Chain A
Amino acid sequence: MPLLLFVGIGAMIDFGPLLSNPRMLLFGGAVQFGIFMTIVLAVLLGFPLKDALSAGVIGAADGPTSIFVAKTLNSNYIGAISVAAYSYMALVPIIQPFAIRLVTTEKERKIRMPYHPKQVSRLTRILFPICVTIVAGLIAPDSVALVGFLMFGNLIRECHKLDSLKETAEGPLTNLITIFLGITIAFQMQAEQFLTFGTLLIMGLGLFAFVFDTIGGVLFAKLLNIFLPEDQKVNPMIGGAGISAFPMSSRVIQKMALKEDPTNHLLMHAVGANVAGQIGSVVAGGIILSLAGNLLGV
Chain B
Amino acid sequence: MLTMLADFQSILGIVHESDLFGSFKMMGLGMLGILIVMLLLYLLIMVLSKFGKEKKN
Contacts and interface: CB of A to CB of B under 8 A. Distances in A.
Interface of A: 18-19, 22-23, 25-26, 28-29, 32-33, 35-37, 39-40, 42-49, 52-53, 118, 120-121, 123-124, 127-128, 131-132, 135-136, 139-140, 197-198, 201, 276, 279-280, 283-284, 287-288, 290-292, 295-296
**Do most interface residues of chain B lie in helix, strand or loop, or is the interface mixed?**
helix
22 contacts: A19-B45, A22-B45, A29-B35, A32-B34, A36-B30, A39-B27, A43-B23, A45-B11, A48-B19, A49-B23, A123-B55, A128-B48, A131-B48, A135-B41, A198-B12, A276-B38, A287-B33, A287-B37, A288-B30, A291-B30, A295-B26, A295-B29
Which 3 residue pairs across A and B have the least CB separation, nearest first?
A: A46-B12, A121-B52, A46-B10
Given A40-B23, A135-B44, A296-B22, A120 B34 contact: no
A133 to B, nearest CB: 11
Nearest to A37: B27
Contact of B20 (A44, A128, A139): A44
Contacts of A123: 48, 51-52, 55
Contact of A121 (B23, B37, B41, B56): B56
Contacts of B15: 43-44, 46
A249 to B, nearest CB: 18
A155 to B, nearest CB: 14
Contacts of A18: 45
Chain A interface, DSSP helix/strand/loop, else mixed: helix
Give chain B's interface residue range (CB within 8 Å of chain A): 35 or more
B42 A25 contact: yes
Nearest to A138: B40
A26 B10 contact: no
Given A44-B15, A139-B37, 16 more contacts: A33-B31, A36-B31, A39-B26, A39-B27, A43-B20, A45-B11, A46-B10, A47-B13, A121-B52, A124-B45, A127-B51, A128-B44, A135-B44, A197-B12, A279-B41, A288-B26
Contacts of A118: 49
Residue in B12, B36, B53 with the greatest tally of chain A CB atoms within 10 Å? B12
